[in-house]
Amino acid sequence: MQPTAVVVGVGSEEGLGAAVARRFARGGFHVLVGGRTIEKLERVVKSLSGGNGTPVVVDATSETDVLQLFQLASSPGAGRSPASVVIFNAGNNQHIPLQQVSAAQFEDFWRVGCFGGFLVGREAANLLLPKGEGTLIFTGASASLRGRPGYAHFAAAKAGLRMISQSMAREFGPQGLHVAHVVIDGGINGTRLKNQRPDAVAHRGPDGLLNIDAIAETYWQLHLQHPTAWTQEIDLRPFKESF
- Give, for all 243 residues of the chain, the pLDDT tens digit: 999 999 999 999 999 999 999 999 999 999 999 999 999 999 999 999 888 999 999 999 999 999 999 999 999 999 999 999 999 999 989 999 999 999 999 999 999 999 999 999 999 999 999 999 999 999 999 999 999 999 999 999 999 999 999 999 999 999 999 999 999 998 888 777 777 677 777 777 768 899 999 999 999 999 999 999 999 999 999 998 888
Q: Is there a contact between 55 and 44 (Cβ–Cβ < 8 Å)?
A: yes
Determine the 3-state secondary structure of 10 from DSSP. coil
Tell me which of 3.30.70.2740, 3.40.50.720, 1.10.1040.10, 3.30.70.980 is the CATH number of domain 2-236: 3.40.50.720
Give me the sign of the Cα torsion angle 19, 144, 157, 152: negative
The CA distance from 22 to 93, in Å, is 24
Domain boundaries, the chain: 2-236
Q: How many Å apart are CA 19 and CA 46, to the nearest integer?
A: 13
| Type of residue at 17 | G
Distance in angstroms (rounded) separating the CA atoms of residues 10 and 17: 4
CA angle 100, 145, 107 (to 5 degrees): 35
The torsion defined by the Cα of 195, 196, 202 and 206, in degrees rounded to 10, comes to: -70
User: If you compute the radius of gyration of the chain from its CA atoms, what whole number of angstroms results?
Assistant: 17
- The SS3 of residue 95 is coil
